[in-house]
Amino acid sequence: MPPAKPIELHKRHGTYNATRHGPREGARVAVAPVGKVPDFDPSSVFEQVLADGVAWLAVTDSPTLAILRDMLQERRELRVLADGTMEARRALRELDKTILSCLSQLGFDPTARARLGLAEVKAEDALEKIKARRDKRRT
């Protein structure tokens, strides 16, 4: 019998089931709207990824995080060169695509968060409204 998949892998693939794999620990994350787009600084972007992803990033994400950190540093250097040649600009755009792909794999876009079950938006149904009114009357 093959070894069981880690829960993080089930969450990432969207096959997580609490009845089969155990309860989630702090999986729901409130996603705050962006007020102002910050200036690009590779170290602050990486720190922000670590701070925001603390609820779902695991030790198994370490290689991806290391690659992301290196790509962000490379982007800083390439951006200086991109002012001159078209080839450097093309390389910068390709690197940007790779960085965005890496961020997506780590759960930093709406689709990835939904796949991980982190940013679920659920409309209140009629039964929940009735229960809320009943609880309000009791207090």
pLDDT in tens, 81-132: 767 788 888 888 999 999 999 998 888 887 777 777 665 555 567 777 888 8
Locus of tokens 């679920």:
120
pLDDT in tens, 8-25: 667 777 777 777 766 555
Higher pLDDT, 72 or 55: 72
Domain boundaries, the chain: 7-138
pTM above 0.75, yes or no: no
Cα-to-chain-centroid distance, residue 86: 32
C-alpha–C-alpha distance, residues 49 and 53, integer Å: 6
User: Is residue 67 within 8 Å of residue 102, measured between CB atoms?
Assistant: yes
C-alpha–C-alpha distance, residues 133 and 129, integer Å: 6
